[in-house]
Amino acid sequence: MGQLFFFFGTLRDPALLDAVIGNSSHVTLTPAQLPGYEVCSVAEGPFPTILANEEAFAEGLLVAGLRAEDVSRLDYYESAFGYSLHSKALDDGRQAQVYFPQPDLWTPDGPWSLTDWSRDHGRLSILAALEVMTYQGTKSPGEVGLMFPMIRARAWASMNAEKSIHGARTLDGQVTVARTRRPYANYFALDEYDLTHERFDGGTTPEVMRAVFRAPDATLVLPYDPVRDRVLLVEQMRMGPLARGDRVLWQLEPVAGRLDPGEAPQDAARREAFEEASLQIGDMFSVAEAYCSPGNSSEFYYIYVGFADLPDTASGTGGLISEQEDIRSHILSFEELMAMCDRMELANAPLITSAYWLARHRSRLRAMA
Protein backbone atom coordinates (compact mmCIF):
# COMPACT_ATOMS: atom_id res chain seq x y z
CA MET A 1 0.00 0.00 0.00
CA GLY A 2 2.94 2.34 0.63
CA GLN A 3 3.15 5.11 3.17
CA LEU A 4 0.00 6.68 4.54
CA PHE A 5 -0.24 10.41 5.18
CA PHE A 6 -2.58 12.48 7.33
CA PHE A 7 -3.52 15.98 6.15
CA PHE A 8 -5.10 18.24 8.75
CA GLY A 9 -4.84 21.64 7.04
CA THR A 10 -5.00 23.38 3.70
CA LEU A 11 -3.80 20.33 1.73
CA ARG A 12 -7.26 18.87 2.34
CA ASP A 13 -8.43 21.28 -0.36
CA PRO A 14 -8.32 19.27 -3.63
CA ALA A 15 -7.39 22.28 -5.77
CA LEU A 16 -4.46 23.20 -3.54
CA LEU A 17 -3.27 19.59 -3.48
CA ASP A 18 -3.34 19.59 -7.28
CA ALA A 19 -1.39 22.85 -7.35
CA VAL A 20 1.33 21.29 -5.18
CA ILE A 21 1.69 17.78 -6.62
CA GLY A 22 0.41 18.47 -10.14
CA ASN A 23 -2.36 15.86 -10.30
CA SER A 24 -4.03 14.01 -7.45
CA SER A 25 -6.32 11.72 -9.46
CA HIS A 26 -4.31 8.65 -8.36
CA VAL A 27 -4.54 9.57 -4.66
CA THR A 28 -7.16 8.17 -2.27
CA LEU A 29 -8.55 10.51 0.39
CA THR A 30 -10.70 9.27 3.27
CA PRO A 31 -11.77 11.00 6.52
CA ALA A 32 -9.62 10.23 9.55
CA GLN A 33 -8.78 11.49 13.03
CA LEU A 34 -5.51 12.05 14.84
CA PRO A 35 -6.01 11.64 18.61
CA GLY A 36 -4.25 13.89 21.09
CA TYR A 37 -4.04 16.93 18.80
CA GLU A 38 -6.11 19.94 17.78
CA VAL A 39 -5.95 22.18 14.71
CA CYS A 40 -5.68 25.94 15.29
CA SER A 41 -5.42 29.09 13.21
CA VAL A 42 -2.20 31.06 13.46
CA ALA A 43 -1.84 34.80 13.94
CA GLU A 44 0.84 35.04 11.23
CA GLY A 45 -1.26 33.88 8.30
CA PRO A 46 -4.40 32.29 6.89
CA PHE A 47 -3.29 28.71 7.52
CA PRO A 48 -3.42 26.28 10.46
CA THR A 49 -1.01 24.67 12.86
CA ILE A 50 -1.46 21.57 15.01
CA LEU A 51 -1.00 21.42 18.78
CA ALA A 52 -0.89 18.63 21.34
CA ASN A 53 -4.15 18.28 23.32
CA GLU A 54 -4.81 14.97 25.05
CA GLU A 55 -8.57 15.55 25.05
CA ALA A 56 -8.92 16.47 21.38
CA PHE A 57 -9.08 14.77 17.99
CA ALA A 58 -7.71 16.50 14.90
CA GLU A 59 -10.05 16.00 11.94
CA GLY A 60 -8.39 15.39 8.61
CA LEU A 61 -7.88 13.10 5.64
CA LEU A 62 -6.01 9.82 5.37
CA VAL A 63 -4.03 9.98 2.13
CA ALA A 64 -2.95 6.86 0.27
CA GLY A 65 -1.32 6.36 -3.12
CA LEU A 66 1.18 9.19 -3.08
CA ARG A 67 4.14 8.57 -5.35
CA ALA A 68 7.76 9.40 -4.55
CA GLU A 69 7.59 12.47 -6.78
CA ASP A 70 4.43 13.62 -4.99
CA VAL A 71 6.09 13.32 -1.60
CA SER A 72 9.13 15.23 -2.87
CA ARG A 73 6.88 18.07 -4.01
CA LEU A 74 4.93 18.03 -0.74
CA ASP A 75 8.16 18.11 1.26
CA TYR A 76 9.36 21.10 -0.75
CA TYR A 77 6.12 23.01 -0.28
CA GLU A 78 5.66 22.25 3.40
CA SER A 79 9.29 22.83 4.40
CA ALA A 80 9.11 26.33 2.90
CA PHE A 81 6.80 27.13 5.83
CA GLY A 82 8.74 25.23 8.48
CA TYR A 83 6.78 21.93 8.41
CA SER A 84 8.36 18.47 8.35
CA LEU A 85 7.12 14.88 8.52
CA HIS A 86 6.58 12.91 11.74
CA SER A 87 5.03 9.48 12.12
CA LYS A 88 1.87 9.40 14.29
CA ALA A 89 -0.77 6.81 15.19
CA LEU A 90 -4.30 7.55 13.98
CA ASP A 91 -7.43 6.70 15.98
CA ASP A 92 -7.65 3.27 14.29
CA GLY A 93 -4.03 2.44 15.17
CA ARG A 94 -2.55 2.88 11.71
CA GLN A 95 0.67 4.88 11.38
CA ALA A 96 0.61 7.94 9.13
CA GLN A 97 3.06 10.65 8.19
CA VAL A 98 1.98 14.12 9.36
CA TYR A 99 3.52 17.50 8.53
CA PHE A 100 4.24 19.21 11.87
CA PRO A 101 5.59 22.76 12.28
CA GLN A 102 8.81 23.56 14.06
CA PRO A 103 8.15 24.09 17.79
CA ASP A 104 6.94 27.60 18.67
CA LEU A 105 7.13 28.67 15.03
CA TRP A 106 3.57 29.99 14.87
CA THR A 107 1.28 31.78 17.31
CA PRO A 108 -2.01 29.87 17.89
CA ASP A 109 -5.05 32.06 17.27
CA GLY A 110 -8.27 30.14 17.88
CA PRO A 111 -10.08 27.49 15.83
CA TRP A 112 -9.50 26.97 12.12
CA SER A 113 -12.08 26.10 9.47
CA LEU A 114 -11.23 24.59 6.09
CA THR A 115 -14.56 25.85 4.73
CA ASP A 116 -13.82 29.43 5.77
CA TRP A 117 -10.25 29.21 4.49
CA SER A 118 -11.38 27.87 1.10
CA ARG A 119 -13.93 30.68 0.78
CA ASP A 120 -11.70 33.54 1.93
CA HIS A 121 -8.17 32.48 0.99
CA GLY A 122 -8.37 29.39 -1.21
CA ARG A 123 -7.96 30.95 -4.64
CA LEU A 124 -5.14 33.23 -3.51
CA SER A 125 -3.32 30.33 -1.85
CA ILE A 126 -3.68 28.14 -4.93
CA LEU A 127 -2.19 30.81 -7.21
CA ALA A 128 0.64 31.33 -4.73
CA ALA A 129 1.28 27.57 -4.51
CA LEU A 130 1.55 27.32 -8.29
CA GLU A 131 4.34 29.91 -8.22
CA VAL A 132 6.04 28.28 -5.23
CA MET A 133 6.29 24.96 -7.05
CA THR A 134 7.98 26.53 -10.09
CA TYR A 135 11.05 27.09 -7.91
CA GLN A 136 11.60 23.44 -6.97
CA GLY A 137 15.08 22.52 -8.14
CA THR A 138 16.28 26.14 -8.43
CA LYS A 139 15.61 27.67 -5.01
CA SER A 140 15.75 26.22 -1.52
CA PRO A 141 12.58 26.03 0.58
CA GLY A 142 14.09 28.64 2.88
CA GLU A 143 14.56 31.06 -0.01
CA VAL A 144 10.96 30.52 -1.10
CA GLY A 145 9.75 31.10 2.44
CA LEU A 146 11.43 34.52 2.44
CA MET A 147 9.89 35.33 -0.94
CA PHE A 148 6.42 34.16 0.03
CA PRO A 149 4.95 37.58 0.98
CA MET A 150 5.72 38.86 -2.51
CA ILE A 151 4.52 35.60 -4.07
CA ARG A 152 1.15 36.08 -2.37
CA ALA A 153 1.10 39.76 -3.38
CA ARG A 154 1.60 38.76 -7.03
CA ALA A 155 -1.22 36.23 -6.66
CA TRP A 156 -3.48 38.98 -5.31
CA ALA A 157 -2.57 41.16 -8.31
CA SER A 158 -3.62 38.34 -10.63
CA MET A 159 -6.98 38.16 -8.89
CA ASN A 160 -7.41 41.94 -9.13
CA ALA A 161 -6.61 41.78 -12.84
CA GLU A 162 -9.75 39.73 -13.40
CA LYS A 163 -11.81 42.75 -12.26
CA SER A 164 -10.12 45.46 -14.34
CA ILE A 165 -12.55 48.01 -15.77
CA HIS A 166 -10.45 49.30 -18.69
CA GLY A 167 -10.34 47.89 -22.23
CA ALA A 168 -12.84 49.95 -24.21
CA ARG A 169 -12.21 50.09 -27.98
CA THR A 170 -9.39 47.54 -27.89
CA LEU A 171 -8.95 44.27 -29.76
CA ASP A 172 -10.17 41.15 -27.94
CA GLY A 173 -7.51 39.10 -29.70
CA GLN A 174 -5.92 35.71 -29.19
CA VAL A 175 -2.50 35.32 -27.56
CA THR A 176 -0.86 31.88 -27.56
CA VAL A 177 1.98 31.34 -25.10
CA ALA A 178 4.33 28.55 -26.17
CA ARG A 179 6.85 28.71 -23.32
CA THR A 180 7.61 30.75 -20.21
CA ARG A 181 10.80 31.16 -18.21
CA ARG A 182 11.66 33.00 -15.00
CA PRO A 183 15.38 33.84 -15.13
CA TYR A 184 15.16 36.00 -12.00
CA ALA A 185 13.00 35.97 -8.87
CA ASN A 186 13.59 37.50 -5.49
CA TYR A 187 11.69 40.52 -4.20
CA PHE A 188 10.50 41.14 -7.76
CA ALA A 189 10.54 38.71 -10.68
CA LEU A 190 11.36 38.75 -14.38
CA ASP A 191 9.48 36.49 -16.81
CA GLU A 192 10.24 35.66 -20.43
CA TYR A 193 7.50 34.53 -22.83
CA ASP A 194 7.71 32.88 -26.24
CA LEU A 195 4.36 33.73 -27.85
CA THR A 196 2.33 34.57 -30.90
CA HIS A 197 -0.59 36.95 -31.02
CA GLU A 198 -3.38 37.97 -33.34
CA ARG A 199 -2.75 40.93 -35.66
CA PHE A 200 -5.14 43.73 -36.51
CA ASP A 201 -5.34 42.44 -40.09
CA GLY A 202 -6.60 39.05 -38.83
CA GLY A 203 -3.30 37.25 -39.21
CA THR A 204 -0.90 35.96 -36.55
CA THR A 205 2.57 37.18 -35.67
CA PRO A 206 5.58 34.89 -35.87
CA GLU A 207 6.75 33.56 -32.53
CA VAL A 208 8.44 36.31 -30.56
CA MET A 209 10.19 36.53 -27.19
CA ARG A 210 9.02 39.18 -24.75
CA ALA A 211 10.21 39.92 -21.21
CA VAL A 212 8.11 41.44 -18.43
CA PHE A 213 8.88 42.76 -14.96
CA ARG A 214 6.50 41.12 -12.45
CA ALA A 215 5.41 43.20 -9.48
CA PRO A 216 2.40 43.33 -7.17
CA ASP A 217 -0.27 46.00 -7.54
CA ALA A 218 0.39 49.38 -5.92
CA THR A 219 -1.76 52.15 -4.50
CA LEU A 220 -0.91 55.85 -4.54
CA VAL A 221 -2.64 58.78 -2.86
CA LEU A 222 -1.97 62.50 -3.10
CA PRO A 223 -3.05 64.00 0.26
CA TYR A 224 -4.94 67.26 -0.34
CA ASP A 225 -6.20 69.79 2.20
CA PRO A 226 -9.12 71.56 0.45
CA VAL A 227 -9.38 74.24 3.14
CA ARG A 228 -5.73 75.28 3.09
CA ASP A 229 -5.47 74.37 -0.63
CA ARG A 230 -2.24 72.46 -0.23
CA VAL A 231 -0.83 68.98 -0.80
CA LEU A 232 1.71 66.73 0.87
CA LEU A 233 4.46 65.04 -1.11
CA VAL A 234 6.93 62.45 0.14
CA GLU A 235 10.59 62.18 -0.78
CA GLN A 236 12.88 59.16 -0.75
CA MET A 237 15.80 57.64 -2.62
CA ARG A 238 14.64 55.60 -5.59
CA MET A 239 16.34 52.74 -7.45
CA GLY A 240 14.95 53.60 -10.90
CA PRO A 241 16.89 56.86 -11.17
CA LEU A 242 19.97 55.16 -9.71
CA ALA A 243 19.87 52.39 -12.32
CA ARG A 244 19.29 54.93 -15.12
CA GLY A 245 22.20 57.10 -14.01
CA ASP A 246 20.03 60.09 -13.13
CA ARG A 247 21.76 62.95 -11.33
CA VAL A 248 18.68 63.20 -9.03
CA LEU A 249 18.24 60.07 -6.88
CA TRP A 250 15.81 61.45 -4.26
CA GLN A 251 12.37 61.86 -5.82
CA LEU A 252 9.15 63.67 -4.89
CA GLU A 253 6.10 61.40 -5.04
CA PRO A 254 2.61 60.85 -3.73
CA VAL A 255 2.26 58.46 -0.80
CA ALA A 256 2.57 54.97 -2.27
CA GLY A 257 2.83 51.32 -1.38
CA ARG A 258 2.04 47.79 -2.44
CA LEU A 259 -1.26 46.06 -1.79
CA ASP A 260 -1.07 43.35 0.82
CA PRO A 261 -2.84 40.11 -0.18
CA GLY A 262 -6.57 40.54 0.31
CA GLU A 263 -6.25 44.30 0.86
CA ALA A 264 -8.47 46.78 -0.99
CA PRO A 265 -6.61 49.63 -2.75
CA GLN A 266 -8.22 52.39 -0.67
CA ASP A 267 -7.39 50.55 2.56
CA ALA A 268 -3.79 50.19 1.42
CA ALA A 269 -3.63 53.92 0.60
CA ARG A 270 -4.87 54.85 4.08
CA ARG A 271 -2.38 52.46 5.68
CA GLU A 272 0.54 53.82 3.66
CA ALA A 273 -0.40 57.44 4.41
CA PHE A 274 -0.21 56.71 8.12
CA GLU A 275 3.02 54.69 7.83
CA GLU A 276 4.85 57.18 5.62
CA ALA A 277 3.54 60.53 6.87
CA SER A 278 1.42 59.88 10.01
CA LEU A 279 -1.63 61.12 8.08
CA GLN A 280 -5.26 60.16 8.45
CA ILE A 281 -6.92 60.23 5.03
CA GLY A 282 -10.60 61.21 4.84
CA ASP A 283 -12.69 61.09 1.66
CA MET A 284 -10.86 59.56 -1.30
CA PHE A 285 -11.37 60.18 -5.00
CA SER A 286 -10.27 57.84 -7.78
CA VAL A 287 -7.88 59.43 -10.24
CA ALA A 288 -6.93 56.41 -12.37
CA GLU A 289 -6.47 52.66 -12.48
CA ALA A 290 -3.57 52.09 -14.83
CA TYR A 291 -0.42 50.18 -15.71
CA CYS A 292 2.80 52.06 -15.01
CA SER A 293 4.44 50.79 -18.23
CA PRO A 294 2.38 48.07 -19.96
CA GLY A 295 5.04 47.35 -22.56
CA ASN A 296 7.40 45.82 -20.03
CA SER A 297 5.79 45.64 -16.57
CA SER A 298 2.78 44.02 -14.90
CA GLU A 299 2.80 46.70 -12.17
CA PHE A 300 -0.67 48.22 -11.85
CA TYR A 301 -1.54 51.46 -10.06
CA TYR A 302 -4.65 52.54 -8.15
CA ILE A 303 -4.25 56.31 -7.90
CA TYR A 304 -6.24 58.60 -5.58
CA VAL A 305 -6.52 62.11 -4.23
CA GLY A 306 -7.47 62.00 -0.56
CA PHE A 307 -8.64 64.67 1.84
CA ALA A 308 -6.24 65.29 4.73
CA ASP A 309 -5.61 67.91 7.40
CA LEU A 310 -2.28 69.51 6.43
CA PRO A 311 -1.10 72.17 8.88
CA ASP A 312 2.50 73.36 8.68
CA THR A 313 3.44 70.73 11.27
CA ALA A 314 2.34 67.89 8.94
CA SER A 315 5.74 67.82 7.22
CA GLY A 316 8.56 65.82 8.72
CA THR A 317 10.19 62.42 8.42
CA GLY A 318 8.68 58.96 8.63
CA GLY A 319 8.54 55.44 7.21
CA LEU A 320 8.70 51.97 8.69
CA ILE A 321 12.01 50.97 10.24
CA SER A 322 11.09 47.32 9.57
CA GLU A 323 11.07 48.10 5.83
CA GLN A 324 14.21 50.28 5.95
CA GLU A 325 12.16 53.30 4.82
CA ASP A 326 13.61 56.79 5.16
CA ILE A 327 10.96 59.28 4.05
CA ARG A 328 10.68 63.05 4.24
CA SER A 329 7.39 64.84 3.62
CA HIS A 330 6.83 68.29 2.11
CA ILE A 331 3.87 70.67 2.22
CA LEU A 332 3.23 72.57 -1.02
CA SER A 333 0.47 74.94 -1.99
CA PHE A 334 -1.61 73.93 -4.98
CA GLU A 335 -0.06 76.76 -6.99
CA GLU A 336 3.47 75.58 -6.08
CA LEU A 337 2.56 72.05 -7.17
CA MET A 338 1.28 73.20 -10.56
CA ALA A 339 4.27 75.51 -11.06
CA MET A 340 6.58 72.51 -10.52
CA CYS A 341 4.57 70.57 -13.11
CA ASP A 342 4.90 73.44 -15.59
CA ARG A 343 8.66 73.64 -15.02
CA MET A 344 8.96 69.85 -15.42
CA GLU A 345 10.57 69.58 -11.98
CA LEU A 346 8.58 66.44 -11.11
CA ALA A 347 9.57 63.08 -12.57
CA ASN A 348 6.92 60.83 -11.03
CA ALA A 349 4.11 60.05 -13.50
CA PRO A 350 1.39 59.22 -10.91
CA LEU A 351 2.15 62.47 -9.09
CA ILE A 352 1.86 64.51 -12.28
CA THR A 353 -1.34 62.67 -13.20
CA SER A 354 -2.78 63.38 -9.75
CA ALA A 355 -1.79 67.05 -9.96
CA TYR A 356 -3.59 67.58 -13.27
CA TRP A 357 -6.62 65.63 -12.03
CA LEU A 358 -6.68 67.88 -8.98
CA ALA A 359 -6.48 70.95 -11.21
CA ARG A 360 -9.52 69.73 -13.12
CA HIS A 361 -11.58 68.88 -10.01
CA ARG A 362 -10.20 71.35 -7.45
CA SER A 363 -13.17 73.74 -7.43
CA ARG A 364 -15.59 70.86 -6.83
CA LEU A 365 -13.46 69.41 -4.04
CA ARG A 366 -13.10 72.76 -2.31
CA ALA A 367 -16.85 73.31 -2.51
CA MET A 368 -17.41 69.91 -0.90
CA ALA A 369 -15.16 70.85 1.99
Residues assigned a catalytic role: 323
User: Please, how many CA atoms are within 13 Å of residue 272, restricted to the half-sphere of its CB?
Assistant: 29
The bridge status of strand 250-253 relative to strand 208-214 is unpaired
Of 233, 216, 236, 215, which is closest to residue 224 (Cα–Cα)?
233
Question: Which amino acid is present at 226?
Answer: P
Q: Are 193 and 180 in contact (CB under 8 A)?
A: yes
Beta strands in 200-299 (DSSP E): 208-214, 218-225, 230-237, 250-253, 255-258, 284-291
∠ at Cα 99 (132, 91), nearest 5°? 145
Going through 43-158 in order, the beta strands assigned E by DSSP cover 45-64, 83-89, 95-101, 108-111
Give the count of beta carbons closer than 10 Å to the beta carbon of residue 177.
Answer: 11
**CA–CA dist 110, 119 (Å, integer):** 18
Residue 95 CA: distances (Å) to CA of 53, 63, 119: 19, 12, 31
Q: What residues contact residue 71 under an 8 Å CB cut-off, 6+ apart?
A: 3
